[in-house]
């Protein structure tokens, strides 16, 4: 499995953009980068995923570097409800449908 | 479309008992995966079922088992419960379990073993 490295915690002011980095230097060419978040004691919530190109949806943007060794999740206007643990996951090879969750980044949005 | 549902939401058992947890996937999803989340070990993969067959398994003892029915609903069973089995058990479903399929999680079942 390609491993990911994320900062343990980050703070962000309410209304500002939250930029959450993730390193995945051993990623393979056909492995996707997925982001989930988990609000305390709830099930993880899917945010976004990508392979090579940058992606955007109604929740966030995902920026993947050209060499694919790192990515950044951007929450454009953070709210208090975005306070959660954010997990960056590199999907394992096709056919193995298990997600490897690391320790994630605990994002705290400050009023 | 309804999301992934899990029952029960909370459960209290004593050591040595067994427990069965249930998961109903999103309509049309055929892959169901189970995860265990504890404060010490984080989120860990238990097993995955697709078309009533276990397709992938994590590193858990044989006390943990599961099955999937023809309607894709899944159950997991833990026998001879230990204190360390206290955890949040999460179920996730996806269309076919392929690498590009998104897994959607249920709210989880909180199991407490006394």
Per-residue pLDDT in tens (0 to 9) along chain A, 111 residues: 568 999 999 999 999 999 999 999 888 888 889 999 999 889 999 999 998 889 999 999 999 999 999 999 999 999 999 999 999 998 765 555 678 888 899 999 999
Any A CB within 8 A of B66 CB: no
From B80, B28, B23, B71, select the one nearest B47 (Cα to Cα). Answer: B23
> In chain A, what residues touch B101 (CB-CB under 8 Å)?
97
Tell me which H or E stretch contains B7: strand B5-7
Give backbone dihedrals phi and psi of A36, rounded to 5 degrees, phi first.
-130, 160
**Which of B43, B55, B100, B112 is the best mutation test for A, with the most CBs of A within 10 A?**
B43
**pLDDT confidence of B2, banded at 50, 70, 90?**
confident
Which among B55, B98, B108 has the least Cβ separation from residue A43? B108
Separation CA B61–CA A108 (nearest Å) = 36
């Amino acid at each position: 499995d390609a491993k990911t490295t994320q900062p343990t915690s980050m703070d962000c002011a309410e209304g500002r953009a939250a930029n959450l980095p993730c390193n995945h230097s051993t990623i393979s060419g056909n492995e996707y980068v997925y982001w989930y978040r988990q609000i305390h004691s709830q099930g993880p919530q899917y945010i976004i995923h990508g392979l090579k190109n940058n992606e955007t949806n109604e929740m966030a943007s995902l920026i993947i570097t050209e060499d694919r060794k790192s990515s950044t999740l951007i929450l454009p206007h953070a709210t208090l409800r975005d306070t959660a643990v954010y997990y960056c996951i590199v999907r394992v090879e096709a056919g193995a449908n298990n997600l490897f969750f690391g320790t994630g980044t605990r994002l705290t949005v400050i009023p | 479309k309804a999301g992934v549902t899990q029952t029960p939401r909370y459960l209290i058992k004593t050591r040595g008992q067994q427990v069965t947890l249930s998961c109903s996937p999103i309509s049309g999803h055929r892959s169901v995966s189970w995860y265990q989340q504890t404060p010490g070990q984080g989120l860990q993969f238990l097993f995955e079922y697709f078309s009533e067959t276990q397709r992938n398994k994590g590193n858990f003892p044989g006390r943990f088992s599961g099955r999937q029915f023809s309607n894709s609903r899944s159950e997991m069973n833990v026998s001879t419960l230990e204190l360390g089995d206290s955890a949040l058990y999460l179920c996730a479903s996806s269309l076919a379990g392929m690498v590009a399929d998104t897994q959607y999680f249920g709210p989880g079942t909180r199991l407490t073993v006394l």
